[in-house]
Amino acid sequence: MSPLVGAELIQTPVQLYRYLLRCCRLLPTPAVQQHYRHAIRQSYNSHSDEDDPERIHMIIQRAIVDADWILDKYAKKK
């Protein structure tokens, strides 16, 4: 299950970036939110030159799974 509705509709890196930033709002503390926003920004910048559609699709799928795992991890701590 994806953390937010619409994860299956993500097709572009910009859509993924916005989706992941919205996921950050669900994290418990401002410090944790800031940490993951920074990590998302760094990852986006490091993959900005990627032009292989298959690789981009793999990155998007992995990022959604990772976001789900992180949100689940913090949900269990509550």
pTM across the whole model = 0.88
How large is the average pLDDT for residues 6-32?
Answer: 93
SS (H, E, C) the chain: CCCCCCHHHCCCHHHHHHHHHHHHCCCCCHHHHHHHHHHHHHHHHHCCCCCCHHHHHHHHHHHHHHHHHHHHHHHHHC
Express as a percent the part of the chain with pLDDT over 90. Answer: 82
Domain boundaries, the chain: 10-46+59-74
pLDDT tens for 46-78 read 999 999 999 999 999 999 999 999 999 998 876
pLDDT-derived band at 8, boundaries 50, 70, 90: confident
Res. 1: pLDDT tops 60 = no
Nearest to 15, CA basis, from 54, 61, 55: 61
